[in-house]
Amino acid sequence: MTEQTLPQERRKTFPNLTDNNHSVTSPETDEYNCIAWAYEVSNKWMWPGALDYYSPYGLTRSDDLAALVQLYLGEGYAKCEHGEPEEGYKKVAIYVNQEGPQHAALQLESGKWTSKLGDWEDIRHDTLEALEGQEYGKATIFLKKRRA
């Protein structure tokens, strides 16, 4: 069965996406975002300290990036050096551009990644570079946690 890819109009937002390096895994919905998806939650829009969104542990928004890192640290993740697969671990990668953190991706057991694109679809993407660019910036912060 041919895997569905992101519509061409949306792929313009992510110039590194190709026909072969990603596939759509869930339809679009505004009920959760990438931060929630990487946190393995799919029924809340999450952003630490944001007035309108869910933030566990009473995280405050003194610094967006620090708060996002703390979010995953609170779930048993620890900072690590890179996003390469490590046996027995899953990873979260946080993308940062000049405006600050923009996106988080969760590593699958295969070593590939899963991402919720804002209100758009979830996709599986082969590499972190597939979503790098002007909109999300670069995968810069990495965290890992032992798989259950």
Partner 1 sequence: MKVSVRGRSNIKREFNELASHWHDETGHLSSPSTITGTDTYLKIISMGKPAIPFILKDLQERGGHWYRALRILSGTDPVPPEAKGDVPQMKECWLRWGREKGYVR
Is residue 89 part of the contact set for partner 1 (CB under 8 A)? no
Specify the residue, 86 or 135, whose C-beta has the smaller distance to partner 1: 135
Work out how close the CB of 86 gets to partner 1 at its nearest, in angstroms, rounded to a whole number.
26
Specify the residue, 34 or 69, whose C-beta has the smaller distance to partner 1: 34
Binding residue (CB under 8 A) for partner 1 from 19, 30, 81, 109: 30
Dist CA 47 CA 61 (whole Å): 9
Nearest to 103 by CA among 131, 66, 79, 71: 131
Specify the residue, 111 or 118, whose C-beta has the smaller distance to partner 1: 118
At 44 the three-state DSSP class reads coil
Nearest to 124 by CA among 31, 4, 35: 4
Binding string, residues 35-74; x marks residues near partner 1 by CB under 8 A: xx------xxxxx--xxxxxx--------x----------
Dist CA 141 CA 148 (whole Å): 22
Work out how close the CB of 6 gets to partner 1 at its nearest, in angstroms, rounded to a whole number.
10
For the chain, how far is it from start to end, CA to CA, in angstroms?
31
Is residue 10 part of the contact set for partner 1 (CB under 8 A)? yes
Largest CA distance in the chain: 47
Binding site for partner 1 (CB under 8 A): 10, 13-14, 30-36, 43-47, 50-55, 64, 99-104, 116-120, 135
